Amino acid sequence: MLTIRDLVKVYPGPVTALQGINLDVPPGMFGLLGPNGAGKSTLMKILAGLLEATAGQVFLDGEDALARPERIRQRLGYLPQEFGFYPHLTGEKMLTYLLKLKGIEAPGGLKKLVAELLERVNLSSAAKRRVKTYSGGMRQRLGIAQAIAGDPRLIIVDEPTAGLDPEERLRFYRILAELAADRIVLLSTHIVEDVAVLCPRFAVIRKGRLVAQTSPTEARQAIAGKVFEGRLGREEMAEIQGRGLRIIQSILVEGKNRVRVYQPDGAPLMGFEPVQETLEDAYLLLMQDAAQVPRPHEEAPALAAGGAA
């Protein structure tokens, strides 16, 4: 279990990046979902021992991670949002170099371990190719190969699928799902699909505050039967906004606005059809609610009732 209590990070300015985060992350895959600038990367860097917290506590299986970061680092695998590679090295040599930097030792030698890791992330056929020829997805898989070396208890992946094409994203999903079978994998992302596909539980963070803890199923159930969609012209759009309805999102399609709205009582709306609610609907509503909650100690948004806020 990864336990985070009252975690605060204040940068010079002052800028408060984290405002008292409390979170329990069980074994398996756990998502941290939020927009860019929400504080996700700051939290990941503190957990990885790359930043000092201003206040708070972090425990991994009961061991104090902030007081003894060197002990936790031995049990940690980390794939940051931007991972630097030497482009002129082959994948095999790059991974070997990274394992030496991490102080990884293997009974059968590093060469054997590197071959095993490349096989696990489906890069064996590209082992002799220079990293500069790798696609974005291949680089991410090379990054996860170094993260899982040493069989870490906790793996942190920060925005791992950003910029990947659909095929590479699916391949990466499979790798992460396999890794979560016997360890804690903390996935930080702003992509709702990542959470919907991978995470039995997730937390939502906005402006350094924890907005909700829930599951994809619970989040969707909270708005089931209350989401409607319609196509509106510009004048109709202005009218519906004047009625004070909760607009989830509006997308321009063929000259008209395709509008999804949230109706708390589920009452039918003139010109709108009921539609299947999605996790993205739930997330966007949480973001709207969170914008109206100025203090961490105040009551959590109603949509988050399925979990602890």
Please tell me whether residue 64 adopts helix, strand or coil conformation.
strand
| Percent over 70 (pLDDT), the chain | 93
In whole angstroms, give the CA distance from residue 7 to residue 169: 31
Q: Which of 163, 160, 183 is nearest to 173 (CA)?
A: 160
Q: What is the mean pLDDT of the chain?
A: 87
How are strands ordered across the β-sheet holding 273-274? 246-253, 256-262, 227-232, 273-274
Q: Is 201 helix (H, G, I), strand (E, B) or coil?
A: strand
pLDDT tens by residue, 221-255: 999 999 999 887 777 777 776 666 788 988 877 77
Instruction: Supply φ then ψ for residue 50, to 5 degrees.
Output: -95, -15
pLDDT of residue 103: 86
Burial 174-212 (b: 16+ CB within 10 A, else e): ebbeebbeebbbbbbbbbbebbbbbbebbbbbbbbbbbb
H helices within 133-269, ranges in order? 136-148, 166-179, 192-198, 216-221, 234-242
Region 258-267: mean pLDDT is: 88
Residues pairing with 4 in the sheet: 23, 58
**pLDDT grade for 290, boundaries at 50, 70 and 90:** confident
Tell me the pLDDT tens digit for each residue of 102-135: 888 888 889 999 999 999 898 999 999 999 999 9
Q: How far apart are CA 231 and CA 245, in angstroms?
A: 15
Closest Cα partner for 309 from 8, 22, 13, 68?
A: 22
Can you give the pLDDT at residue 304?
42
Q: Say if residues 169 and 157 touch (Cβ distance below 8 Å).
A: no
CA 240 from centroid of its chain's CA atoms: 34
**Both tokens of residue 29?**
């895959």
Q: Which helix (H) or strand (E) segment is 114 a member of?
A: helix 110-120
* Strand partners for 230: 259
Encode pLDDT of 149-175 as tens digits. Answer: 988 999 999 988 887 888 888 888 988
The reply to whether the predicted model has a pTM over 0.75 is yes
Distance (Å, whole) CA 123 – CA 169: 15
Contacts of 7 (CB under 8 A, 6+ apart): 18, 20, 21, 22, 43, 46, 53, 55, 56, 57, 58
